[in-house]
Structure 1
Amino acid sequence: MRIGKERIFKVEARAILEGLQIAWEVGYRNLDLECDNAMVVELILAGGIAVNRMTKLRLIDQILKCKWSVQIRHIPRDHNKVVDT
């Protein structure tokens, strides 16, 4: 099955948002977030997501501003096999 790059981007953004929301709700305050989608990670780290027209990215920006420590980094896809299976 082929999924377009835009669709993959949206799915990754949603997964990040939902993961951050769950982590916050259960009380984690130090978090390492790894993602194999370099474009999503670069956009988040560049800080331009607050004005992005994609709602999920704006929500990610808002939750990252909460009082906690979130380290975000890109990992190669082959290091993310557990999640992709």
Structure 2
Amino acid sequence: MAPETFLTGRATVETNVYAFGVLMLEVVCGRRPGNQNEQNNYNNIIVYWLWDLYSGGRILEAVDSRMDGDIDEDDMACMLILVVCE
């Protein structure tokens, strides 16, 4: 869920797009969007974690190892960059 949804109490087109992006990250990365017990941990939030990987030129490290390399790396990198930069 987009962070501003908690402030406004309602969903918008923008918050729906954000939520879809986070869902895509959950599927591709095999991670939950964040640990509810550790909300203040910057690296525990999937979007920030992915941003750090992208900034370090290691975006494909985010791909869940259970995909066993059965991906097109260029397409996967494009999708991850699109989601992280939205």
Fold match (TM-score > 0.5): no
TM-score, normalization by structure 2: 0.25
Q: Report the structure number with the largest CA radius of gyration.
A: 2
TM-score, normalization by structure 1: 0.25
Structure of higher RCO (CA pairs closer than 8 Å, 6+ residues apart): 1
